[in-house]
Amino acid sequence: NAGVTQTPKFQVLKTGQSMTLQCAQDMNHEYMSWYRQDPGMGLRLIHYSVGAGITDQGEVPNGYNVSRSTTEDFPLRLLSAAPSQTSVYFCASSRDSGTRTDTQYFGPGTRLTVL
Amino acid sequence: TQLLEQSPQFLSIQEGENLTVYCNSSSVFSSLQWYRQEPGEGPVLLVTVVTGGEVKKLKRLTFQFGDARKDSSLHITAAQPGDTGLYLCAGENAGGTSYGKLTFGQGTILTVHP
């Protein structure tokens, strides 16, 4: 199993450009989520999905869109990139949304710079 | 929004020393997780504590969940250079609109010098 994979590893955008961060998992997990990590702020939840066709907003959803057409894939779209979106983005998956008895697996991250 | 204050933010120690990292909140969490993150990689789960007062040990690492489930600590005995990394605590929100979601602390960057 590859676990959780993310592409690209690095990306530089200009303000106003759009792009999609890819995330895939091969563990047949129902729950997937996107976080951003900024220095001194830990990880903050952007969007999450409890299964194919179901998505919801997290703590910092503005400027980002998601969709979940399959169990395996959960792409994150930046519609019009802004410098404030410069960050490291992590995708995570788990069997379900309960953290007490379940393990959340993180991908290796995408480092995004918006100029 | 539930907040988790993690301290210290930076910790630089010599091999063999002991250390403790703290996570504190005024809110109650259903569970508390500790992660370790290496540069260029995603966080990896170390442990989940669920019951107030619970203590879990993982080799030289000891994790404790506060009796009121508002705080937690990670204690490392006889630290080694291989322990170097970013340590994150994350609490599972117990109520409100963020029920079931994770709130992360700011992280502790640990450096253990040989």
Residues B58-99: tens digit of each pLDDT: 999 999 999 999 999 999 999 999 999 999 999 988 766 666
Contacts of A104 in chain B (CB under 8 A): 33, 45, 102
Count Cβ atoms within 10 A of the Cβ of residue A67 and give its class: 0-12 exposed, 13-18 middle, 19 or more buried: middle
pLDDT in tens, A66-111: 999 999 999 999 999 999 999 999 999 998 765 556 788 999 999 9
Q: How far is CA B72 from the centre of its chain?
A: 7
- Do residues A32 and A92 lie in contact, with contact meaning Cβ atoms separated by under 8 Å? yes
In this structure, are residues A103 and A51 in contact, taking their beta carbons and an 8 Å threshold?
no
Burial of B46 (0-12, 13-18, 19+ CB in 10 A): middle
Within a 10 A sphere around the Cβ of B34, how many other Cβ atoms? Answer: 24
Residues of chain B found within 8 Å of residue A97, distances taken between Cβ atoms = 100
Are residues A21 and A110 in contact, defined by beta-carbon separation less than 8 angstroms? Answer: yes
